[in-house]
Chain A
Amino acid sequence: DADVTQTPRNRITKTGKRIMLECSQTKGHDRMYWYRQDPGLGLRLIYYSFDVKDINKGEISDGYSVSRQAQAKFSLSLESAIPNQTALYFCATSDLGTGGMETQYFGPGTRLLVL
Chain B
Amino acid sequence: DGGITQSPKYLFRKEGQNVTLSCEQNLNHDAMYWYRQDPGQGLRLIYYSQIVNDFQKGDIAEGYSVSREKKESFPLTVTSAQKNPTAFYLCASTERSSYNEQFFGPGTRLTVL
A binds B: no
